[in-house]
Amino acid sequence: MSTLRRAGPRKAEDRYQHGDQTRLGMIKTKSKQATWQKWFTVAVSVTVSIACTVVLWDYLHEDDFKEVFARQTDILEGKFFEVPCSKDYESHKRFAGCTPTKCGRAVQDTVVNREEALKMLRIAKRGLSLGGSDGGASILDLHSGALSMGKQFVNIYRYFGDQINDLFDEEDFALYSDVRWRIQKEIAKAFGINITRLHLTKPTFFSRMNNTEAKTMHDEYWHPHIDKVTYGSFDYTSLLYLSDYKIDFGGGKFVFVDELVNRTVEPRIGRVSFFTSGSENLHYVERVAWGTRYAITVSFTCDPVHAIEDPSLP
């Protein structure tokens, strides 16, 4: 006869074990859910961070902390931005009533009308048709006769001789002189200087830029530079744009490099932009992405020793 054993305690133990296993299962399930939620949260955070980083990188890379000073669609009757003058002028002879004491940059869209700008563009195209750089930047200086030709420069008045009279006429040079004088008046007015003490200086030239690969250092127009350092005679620099940003070309904006934010000028045909030439106006031109960008740089000095006359037919 087999011995009978009490079943009560075993059943209680089984209940406890069953309960422990149930609780353990619930804990494991909750732990798995918590782990999954944790990793899901991390994944979402990483994805959002990557997306934000990409957006921020695109913004910084594309806009380079840029603020538009003058849009192509604006029609400005005189927008001026004043900046403290640099010490660059202290290392040069000063001329009362002319050497910059007020510094900055300005944009004016009513100095030269569209018809006049188109005539200036035709002058540039006719001259540049005689040659052109192998790279993406060509210049034509009607004062000295300098013209980009391959990887060097030639003097159009010597190289082409009488052919020049078939390209240009007195009316072309009269317009050139008149436009220069109007720009000079705007500069004198904006900076409060004596117009008679401001002189045209060299180099003053037409430029043509496109996206052709640079062949020489003269084609690399996109490097930041200071006009007063590059050309000691410069005190005031101006540009007359002869083509339209986003219509005739892409890229090619003019960029002032400032401490906190760079400020851009979008070229507009007939737009005049001018500024003091010291390091307070460090600047560069963006690489042209497509099309062709035309402009003329008109430079001014306070030193009569460096003055030049308007160009004329030989």
* Residues annotated as catalytic (active site), given as ranges: 293
Q: DSSP label at 286?
A: P
Say how far apart CA 16 and CA 53 lie, in whole Å: 54
DSSP string, 214-250: P-SGGG-TTS-B-HHHHSTT-SEEEEEE-S-BTTTEE
Residues 6 or more apart whose CB falls under 8 angstroms from that of 149 comprise 131, 132, 133, 159
* 285 close to 208: Cβ distance less than 8 angstroms: no
* 253 close to 259: Cβ distance less than 8 angstroms: no
**Residue 72 CB neighbour total at 10 angstroms:** 17
Say how far apart CA 131 and CA 156 lie, in whole Å: 9
Q: Are strands 146-150 and 132-133 parallel, antiparallel or unpaired?
A: parallel
* 67 close to 262: Cβ distance less than 8 angstroms: yes
